Structure 1
Amino acid sequence: MTKVAIITRTKNRPILLPRVRASVENQTFRDFVWVLVNDAGERGEVDRQADIARTNGVDVVVVHRDKSVGMEAASNDGMKKSSSEYAVIHDDDDTWQPDFLKQTVDYLDENISNVGVVTHSIRIDEEITDNHVKITGKSSFNGQLNSIKLSDLSFHNNFPPISFLFRRSCYDAVNGFDETLPVLGDWDFNLRTLLEGDIGLIPEALANYHFRISNVKASDSYGNTVTAGIDKHIQYEAIYRNRKLRNDINTNSLGLGFVLHQAYVAGPRHQSYVSLLIQKILKKIGLFEFVKRLLS
C-alpha cells in the first residue's frame, strides 16, 4: 500500500499528457502511485508517458478502458486498481505546485479527524494552437476561501478536484463517485464527503485549475466540461437538486436535499443584501456615481 493514489482520467489528449506527467514527477513527496486511466481513447501516447514516468522513478498503473461511460466511472476504476491511505483526482489538464502532496499529506497526518483537505487554486486560462498550449492569463480561483462549509458548498462547488486530497476510508464510506452523473460528479462527491466529517483548508495556492475558453465545442476533446459543457452543467444542477430534495420529501426527512434547497434560496438573497450594503457605503462616502460610471 502506498500513501497516496493519484488518479488521472484521460481520453485523447496527447498534447496535455507530458504536462500532467511532469506535475506528478515534480512532487517533493514521493510515496505515491500514479493511476493513469485511459477512458477508451487512443493508447499509444498514454503508454509512452507511463513508460517515461517509470524511467523517472514513478510507480505507474495504466488502466485502458474498452468503453467510456463517464468521468466518475473512470475515477472509480482508478481507485479500484490501487491501494492507498489517501487519494486525489489529478485530471489530465490540471497541475500542481511541487509541494502540494507534501503539505496536504502532512496536514491529514496531523489532523486525523478530518476526512480531507483542500488548498487554494490558481485559475490558468490557456488556448491550444498548432499542438501547443499557450497561457493567456492567471488569476486566483478561490483565494477568498477561508474554510469549507456545507452551507457554502451547497450553493456552489468552490474547489476543484485537483486541490482536494481525501482519505480512502471516506471514499469507501460514501461508496465512491456517482456514475449516474455525466457532470457535477465532483460536487456531489465533495458534498457527501463533507457529510462524513470536516474538510480542512491550507490557504496557499498549491493547485492550478486550467481553463481553455477558446475550446468551447462539446466535440472538442480539449474543452473543459465547465465551459464546453456549460449547458449540461445547468441542466444537471437542476436535476441533481430536484433529485435530492425529492428524496427528502418522499422519505419525510431532513437531508442533503433540504440543505441544497436552503442554500439555493438563501444564496441570491445574501448576494442582494451584500450588493445593497456596498451601494449604501459608496453613497455615504460619495463614490457611488463615480464607481457606477467606471463600471459602465
Structure 2
Amino acid sequence: MEPNPGSQVSVQAPSSVAVIVRTKDRPRFLERALNDIFAQTYRRFRVVIVNDGGLPESIKGVVGRLPETVREQITVVHHEQSRGMEAASNAGIRSCDSEYIAIHDDDDLWHPEFLQRTVSHLDNYSDAGVVVRTNIRYEEIVGDEIRETGSEPFWGNMQQISLGEMLQINRAVPISFLYRRSLHEELGYFDEKLDVCGDWEFNIRILARHTIGFLDGQPLAFWSQRPAASGADANSIFDKEEDHRRFDRRVRDQYLRKDLAAGGMGMLLEVGRMMDDQERLLLENRRQLDAMQTHLNEALRRLEDTVTRRTSFSGILRRGGTATEMFRGALRGKSRK
C-alpha cells in the first residue's frame, strides 16, 4: 500500500497515536525524522506527513526508500501552496483518527522510548497531555551531513508544567508533547492566523482548563537548533525571530482585549510578559557581570606578571619561587621580629 497523496485521508483502524510531521523541501531532515519515528519501541502509531507547499517528488523519494511494511503506516497530505505551520498541523490532525496526537517537526528527534512512556502516562493518568524532559540539540550543516555541535537542557530547572510559567513563555515545544485528540473537540484547533507561536497559544488554552503532566529524568525529546543556518535549513525561532516577537504581542493583546470585555487571562499574560522581560534582563546582567569578572581576572594576572618581572624579586622567582610565596615569607619574617 502506497501512502495516499490526497489532501484528506480516512484511516480504517484508528491508531493509538497520530504523529504529524510538518515539512517543506527538506528531504534530508524528513528522512532522518522518519527513521527516528520508526525506531520507537511503541508501535501503535500512524504517521501523517504534511507537505506544506514543497515539491511532492522529494516526499515521494524519501518515503519510497522506506520498507513497504513501514510505508503502510504513512499518509501524505500535499498543500499546493504553503499555508503555514498551524494549518499544516490542523490538516494532518483532520486527515486521520487516533486517541493521542504528537507534532514531530521534520528536524527534531525523539528518544526511542518517547511514545512508550508518554502513552503509558496518559493511559494511567487523567492529564490532558504530557511533556517530557527536553534537550536543545545544536547542529550545523556540512555538505550533506547534519552534525551535532553541542547540547543543553531546555528549561533545565523545570519541575512541572504550570499555567503561570506558560503565560510568561512557551515551555512545551511540540516535539516534547503528547496530548489527547479530544482537546481539539473541546478547545478548537491551532490558530491558523498565527504564523508562529500557535503551539504556545494552544498550550495556554489547554492549561486554562486542564493539567499537563511532566516526565522528569532522562531527556526523551531533542529540539534541534541551527543558529548559523539560513534558508530551508533554518529554524523559525532564528529565521523568524522578529515574527515571534510580533505574534507573541498579538496573542497577548488578543487575550487582553477579551479581558476588557469579559474578564480572563489577558492581564495575567501581560504581567507574564513583563516578568519574562525582567528574567531576560537579569540573565543578560549576569552574563555581563561574568564577562567583567573574566576580564578583571585576566587584568590581575597580567599585573602580577608585570610586577614580578620588574621587581628585585624576579631572580628568586626564576629559581622557582612565586609572588605569593615571597609575600608569605616576608610576612613570616616580620612576625618573628
**How would you bin the TM-score normalised by the shorter chain?**
0.7 to 0.9
User: How far does residue 274 in structure 1 lie from its aligned partner after superposition?
Assistant: 10
Between the aligned partners of 1:270 and 1:132, the Cα distance in structure 2 is 37
**Residue identity opposite 1:208 in structure 2:** F
Q: How does 1:191-270 map to 2 (within 5 A)?
A: 191-203=204-216, 204-215=218-229, 217=230, 220-249=231-260, 251-253=261-263, 255-268=264-277
Measure, in 2, the Cα distance between the counterparts of 1:237 and 1:290: 30
How far did residue 275 of structure 1 move? Answer: 10
For residue 284 of structure 1, what is the aligned residue in structure 2?
none
Quote the Cα distance in structure 2 between the aligned partners of 1:290 and 1:66.
51
2-structure distance, mates of 1:114, 1:229: 32
Shift of the alpha carbon at 1:293? 1.1
Instruction: Assess if the C-alpha contact under 8 Å between 2:27 and 2:62 holds in 1.
Output: no
The DSSP-based 3-state class of the residue aligned with 2:21 is strand
Task: Choose from 8, 11, 16 the match for 2:29.
Answer: 16
Inter-partner Cα distance in structure 2 for 1:126 and 1:34 = 25
Q: Partner residue of 1:87?
A: 101
Answer 1 or 2: which has greater helix percent: 2
The answer for the alignment partner of 2:182 in structure 1 is: 169
- Say yes or no: does 1:119 pair with 2:128: no
Is the 1:115–1:196 contact (alpha carbons within 8 Å) kept by the matching residues of 2?
no
Q: Does residue 63 of the first structure (1) align with residue 77 of the second (2)?
A: yes
Distance 2:56 2:106 in 1: 15
Which residue of the partner structure matches residue 42 of structure 1? 55
Q: Please name the residue that 1:98 is paired with.
A: 112
* Change in 2 beyond 3 A, CA 1:44/1:72: same
* 5+ residue gaps, structure 2: 1-13, 297-337
Task: Report the residue type matching 2:255 in the other structure.
Answer: K
SS of alignment partner, residue 70 of structure 2: coil
Over 3 Å counting, the alpha-carbon distance change for 1:183 and 1:267 in structure 2 is closer
User: How many angstroms does 1:269 deviate by?
Assistant: 5.3
Structure 1, unpaired ranges of 5+ = 279-288
Answer 1 or 2: which has greater strand percent: 1
Structural mapping, 1:171-190, within 5 Å = 171-190=184-203
The residue that corresponds to 2:318 in the other structure is none
Give identity over the alignment, percent: 34
Distance in structure 2 (CA, Å) of the matches to 1:129 and 1:195: 44
Residues 16, 105 of structure 1: alpha-carbon distance in 2 compared, 3 angstrom cutoff: same
Change (3 A) 1:291 1:232: closer
Letter in 2 for 1:78: G
Deviation at 1:267, TM superposition (A): 4.1
Aligned residue in 2 for 1:281: none
Q: Higher mean Cα deviation, 48-57 or 220-229?
A: 48-57
TM-score when normalising by structure 2: 0.77
Equivalent AA in structure 2 for residue 74 of structure 1: A
Contact persistence 1:35–1:60 (CA under 8 A): yes
CA contact (8 A) 1:122 1:139 kept: yes
In structure 1, the partner of 2:162 is 149
Aligned to 1:77: 91
Structure 1 residue 7 displacement after superposition: 0.1
Distance 1:115 1:240 in 2: 22
Whole-Å Cα distance in 2 between the matches of residues 108 and 53 of structure 1?
Answer: 30
- The 1:136–1:267 alpha-carbon spacing in structure 2 relative to 1, beyond 3 Å, is closer
Count of residues in Structure 1 that have an aligned counterpart in Structure 2: 279
Given that residues 116 and 198 in structure 1 are in contact (C-alpha distance below 8 angstroms), is that contact kept between their aligned partners in structure 2?
yes
**Post-superposition shift, 1:172?**
2.1
Q: Higher Cα Rg: structure 1 or 2?
A: 2
Separation in 2, partners of 1:18, 1:275: 38
Distance 2:295 2:172 in 1: 28
Per the alignment, residue 38 of structure 2 pairs with 25
Q: Distance in 1 between matches of 2:203 and 2:295?
A: 35
**Could you say if the C-alpha distance between residues 270 and 77 of structure 1 is closer, same or farther in structure 2, counting changes exceeding 3 Å?**
closer
2:11 corresponds to which residue? none
Change (3 A) 1:105 1:130: same
Distance change in 2, residues 1:47/1:261 (3 Å): same
Partner of 1:294: 294
Paired residues of 1:171 and 1:193 also in contact (CA < 8 A): no
Alpha-carbon deviation of 1:86?
Answer: 0.2
Q: 1:295 to 1:35 in 2, by over 3 A?
A: farther
Aligned CA distance change for structure 1 residues 173 and 230 (closer, same or farther; 3 Å):
same
Pick closer, same or farther for the CA change 1:290–1:140 going to 2, 3 Å.
closer
Amino acid of the residue matched to residue 265 of structure 1? M
